[in-house]
């Protein structure tokens, strides 16, 4: 199964990929389409897709490399409904470190915390999906996703996926604080002393166990 990086936002494939993005994420939790387009054009964010036999997009993933680190954020990943339960997402995660730009990188994933809010069973299945594909949770790390519209943040857990050669049992609290602050700043345009970030970032345990 092949995954291809897209670079042209005016292509049919890009429009199909964005259609999956808009369809699968509520407005309150997604970036506006022009923002995604600007990020891809500028090279800040990378978009990968899988194609059907008829060359239509079946799967899309958005990857954000965190500047000056060996981490990338899996900003978004979804499969078109008609192609779900065929193992495409799992195949992408199994082969993610074979992508040239992701070799020797670690992946961070923001995942809805199944202990909070509605649709808890769906959230738990999502966490289970990442676990089955090798991701580990940053234990006892509280993370609040900034609201992209509205006023209420979303309670999340942070998971990480590493190539076998880079797998370890924990990260330092200093590193995790740096990464979360960088995600807030680069992806969500929040200030360095953001009150929402400060409401949880200083409570990160040391070390941060990966479980």
Q: State both tokens at 99.
A: 């992508």
Cis previous bond, 162, omega within 30: no
Burial 30-69 (b: 16+ CB within 10 A, else e): bbeeeebbebbeeeebbbbbbbeeeeebbbbbbbbbbeee
CA-CA distances (angstroms) from residue 201 to 124, 141, 165, 189? 24, 8, 28, 17
Contacts of 145 (CB under 8 A, 6+ apart): 29, 110, 153, 154, 155, 156
Q: State both tokens at 40.
A: 């891809």
Flag whether the pTM goes above 0.85: yes
Q: Please state which of the four CATH numbers 3.40.630.30, 3.50.50.60, 3.30.1330.10, 3.40.50.1820 is assigned to the domain occupying 1-61+76-103.
A: 3.40.630.30
Give me the residue spans of the domains in the chain: 1-61+76-103, 105-211
Q: How many CB atoms lie within 10 A of CB 25?
A: 14
Q: Which of helix, strand or coil describes residue 165?
A: helix
pLDDT tens digits for the chain (211 residues)? 889 999 889 999 999 999 999 998 877 778 889 999 999 999 999 999 999 988 899 999 999 999 999 999 999 999 999 999 999 999 999 999 999 889 999 999 999 999 999 999 999 999 999 999 999 999 999 999 998 877 889 999 999 999 999 999 999 999 999 999 999 999 999 988 899 999 999 999 999 999 9
């Amino acid at each position: 199964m092949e995954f291809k990086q897209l670079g042209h936002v005016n292509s049919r494939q890009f429009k199909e990929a964005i259609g999956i993005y808009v369809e699968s994420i509520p407005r309150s939790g997604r970036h506006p389409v022009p923002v995604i387009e600007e990020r891809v054009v500028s090279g800040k964010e990378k978009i990968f897709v899988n194609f059907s036999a008829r060359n239509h997009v079946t799967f899309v993933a958005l990857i954000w490399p965190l500047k000056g680190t060996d981490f990338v954020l899996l900003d978004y990943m979804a499969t078109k409904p008609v192609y779900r339960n065929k193992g495409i997402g799992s195949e992408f995660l199994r082969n993610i470190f074979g992508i040239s730009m992701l070799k020797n990188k670690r992946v961070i994933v923001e995942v809805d915390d199944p202990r909070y809010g509605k649709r808890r069973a769906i959230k738990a299945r999502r966490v289970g999906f990442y676990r089955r594909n090798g991701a580990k949770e940053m234990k006892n790390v509280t993370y609040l996703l900034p609201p992209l519209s509205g006023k209420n943040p979303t309670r999340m857990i942070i998971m990480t996926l590493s190539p076998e050669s880079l797998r370890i049992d924990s990260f330092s609290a200093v590193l995790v604080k740096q990464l979360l602050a960088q995600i807030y700043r680069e992806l969500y345009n929040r200030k360095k002393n953001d009150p929402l970030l400060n409401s949880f970032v200083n409570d990160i345990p040391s070390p941060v166990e990966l479980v």
